Amino acid sequence: MTGATESIKQPRATTGSWYEFATRHRASIVAAVILIFPLVMPFTALAVNILIYGLYAVGFNLVFGYLGLLSFGHAALFGTGAYLCGIAIVHFGCPWYAAIAAGIAGGLLMASLIGVLAIRTRGIYFAMVTMALSQCVYYLFYQAVDLTGGENGLRGINVRTIDLFGLRLDFINPMIRYYVIAAFVIAAFFVMSRILASPFGAVIEAVRENEMRARASGYDVTKTRLLTFVLSGGFCGLAGALQALHLSIVPIEILHYETSGLVVMIALLGGMGTFFGPMIGAAVFLILENVVSVWTVHWQLIVGAIFIACVLFFPAGIWGTLIARGRR
């Protein structure tokens, strides 16, 4: 039974060897790309944005691409992560690592709450329920002015140095800031890769492929969906926490439904249900936005047109299309 293990690492139809290589070493490849990324980027701030939105999209993709549910409320998970990280620093004077932990916990908790209420619906109803709940979260944070700063956003998240076992890193320096954030993003990618390769990863895909069959096989579909949604919340919460540290402020717009829509676009552009897709989507989208907005203030028109063209001609997304080519 020599070929016995292949099908596990590579559950879909057999493809080219480069794809198998990329799948086996997916987390390491992402790590390598992330490490050299700022050296080829014009400014580090853009590279940091791509990292953070890429991670946000990776978390979203777990629900959208792997579980097959379109959530329109992921801004609530991303935003809660950002706010809790910020609140921990501004109001409770927590050190940076505790603040990041608070952000992850916030994402997990908010995902549990939204998940419990939304997970029994599907299709358009799931999208609508998650969106409605995330609007509730928006108003909750908007009203809690003492804690969140309301419409002014939460200001004063000043982390100047990162203390790491006696090592003091200057967080103001853009390059150092990039690599500190990159360390978390890379760690998150390793965790995600691990989840996808776990027995539960197979269950997630089985539920997406055929809910009735999964149930008949003995899987609790509702529980599987809920756990996946909560895991997704953890990744989005971490992305939000990093965003708060990066911006030094949490704008209330982070909870706006535009933030939910943005991540759908990024995932579609890169390729839903693929490991590299969300990161590629984030890079392409944010670089486009950056380049085009230098030429014209109507950048959304052009980026929108490019997005529509991509969805029409490459419905599998950039990475999804490349994989399909490689399979031929």
Q: How far is the CB of 64 from other proteins (least distance, A)?
A: 16
Stretch 187-226 residues interacting with other proteins (CB under 8 A)? 194-195, 197-203, 205-206, 209-210, 212-221, 223-224
Query: Closest distance between other proteins and the C-beta of residue 112, in Å?
Result: 15
When asked if residue 312 is in the footprint of other proteins (CB under 8 A), the reply is no
Burial class (CB in 10 A: 0-12, 13-18, 19+), 299: middle
Question: Whose CA is closest to 278, among 229, 246, 309, 232?
Answer: 232
The values of phi and psi at residue 164, to 5°, are -125, 95
What pairs with residue 170 in β-bridges?
A: 161
Using the minimum distance from each CB to other proteins, give the nearer residue, 5 or 17. Answer: 5
Phi, psi angle pair for 45, to nearest 5°: -60, -40
Window contacting other proteins (CB under 8 A); options: 5-13, 138-146, 167-175, 257-265: 5-13
Is 14 a residue that touches other proteins (CB under 8 A)? yes
Residues sharing a CB contact under 8 Å with residue 317, sequence separation 6 or more, in sequence order: 267, 268, 269, 270, 271, 272, 274, 277, 281, 310
The least distance separating other proteins from the CB of residue 45, rounded to whole angstroms, comes to 34
Q: What is the DSSP string of 30-68?
A: HHHHHHHHHHHSS-HHHHHHHHHHHHHHHHHHIIIIIS-
Out of 4, 36, 167, 294, the residue judged to bind other proteins by CB under 8 A: 4
Nearer to other proteins, 230 or 244 (CB): 230
**Shortest Å, Cβ 219 to other proteins:** 6
- Taking the complex as a whole, the smallest distance from the CB of residue 274 to other proteins amounts, in Å, to 13
Site residues (CB under 8 A) for other proteins?
A: 1, 3-5, 7-9, 11-14, 194-195, 197-203, 205-206, 209-210, 212-221, 223-224, 227, 231
